[in-house]
Amino acid sequence: MHLARFPRRQYTHGYTPIEPLPNLTKHLGGPNLFVKRDDLLGLAAGGNKTRKLEFLVADALEKGADTLITVGAPQSNHCRLTLAAAVKEGLKCQLVLEERVPDSYDENASGNNMLFRLLGVEKIKVFKTGIDLQAEMQSLADDLAKVGRKAYIIPGGGSNKIGCLGYTGCAEEILAQCNQMQLKLDHIVCSSGSGGTHAGLAVGLSGNNANIPLTGISTRGAKIALEEKYHGLASETAEMLGIRGGIPREMFNIFDGYVGDGYSLPTDGMIEAVQLFARHEGILLDPVYTGKTAAGLIDLIRKNHFKQGENVLFVHTGGSPALFAYQETILSNVTG
């Protein structure tokens, strides 16, 4: 795959590390655990959306945009990073926030919400869940057009076929690192949220005939609906890249039993996972995505889904600023 034919900005210099997790591996007594540190990607506090934004913002600039508009939840990592990319490029940024949990937006909240203000967001509009968010973003774009400005709308999570190129490239990066490290991976585990990360990885792994199973842990939706959605997104991306034969449906194996009561709502498994990664490896997870994904990984290890001696890579998609909006929950009943 020749990704260089697509316009791209560079917000991270070099590869993010793949690190072993020996202490957590020993504690859990299961497979050999490794982590892909995409929490160390560029822009403000990093995270997986940086990879997607390298392609999306390049497309926006090529189209002459002066403003980025996107959507997310009140503690959205994607909104934080889109805003940071806008600042870096000298663009304005406006955000549409969806209260997926009723009354969850607090103008003075910590975490990503505080960073929206620090980074200088131009406008924030907050809506209850169920609103046509695409229409609201288009309304903002239309208002800007009336005063001679040009907006570029980025979908939630940056998850369209352009954004997926970021994790298609990440899959190639992982394979190059594994070759260098002489590391044979048996499984890759990632968060399954808006879909661009999972779909992009599937395209990159399939396009390179990697034959590494990819497991997703849902942070919001139901298994079958997500698998179908991601397969469709991956197929669009593969077509754009000229990959023949499509993307195998089996690349989309998602476990949806770790969402709990709903998106962004804490679970005991998430709290344990955040504490274990911090106490055993000094790595910060977030409460919405990586914490629940790690909870799924840990539970699957305990259920012998992954076997001793296998090498399992956890893709850390970042998001740690959100921890500070959940500190009372995360620090309750701290265990080793």
**Active-site amino acid positions:** 76
* DSSP state, residue 250: G
Tens digit of each residue's pLDDT (9 = 90 or more) over 274-286: 999 999 999 999 9
The gap from C-alpha 153 to its chain's centroid, in whole angstroms, comes to 18
Residue 335 scores a pLDDT above 80: no
- 49-158 shares the fold of 3-47+160-330: yes
The rounded percent of the chain whose pLDDT value lies above 90 is 92
Tens digit of each residue's pLDDT (9 = 90 or more) over 111-127: 999 999 999 999 999 99
- Give the pair of three-digit tokens for residue 306: 């992954």
Positive or negative: CA dihedral 164, 237, 216, 261: positive
Residue 86 scores a pLDDT above 90: yes
Tens digit of each residue's pLDDT (9 = 90 or more) over 133-178: 999 999 999 999 999 999 999 999 999 999 999 999 999 999 999 9
Sheet holding 67-72, edge to edge: 123-128, 92-99, 67-72, 151-154
Residues 6+ apart with CB under 8 A from 178: 18, 184, 185
- Domain coordinates of the chain in residue numbers? 3-47+160-330, 49-158
Residue 244 scores a pLDDT above 90: no
Tens digit of each residue's pLDDT (9 = 90 or more) over 219-238: 999 999 999 999 999 999 99
Burial class (CB in 10 A: 0-12, 13-18, 19+), 216: buried
The CATH code belonging to domain 3-47+160-330 is 3.40.50.1100
- CATH level 3 topology of 49-158: Rossmann fold (3.40.50)
At 332 the pLDDT is: 79
* DSSP state, residue 192: E
At 9 the pLDDT is: 98
Under a CB-based contact definition with an 8 Å cutoff, are residues 156 and 193 in contact?
no
Distance CA 233, CA 198 (A): 10
- Give the pair of three-digit tokens for residue 179: 């070759």
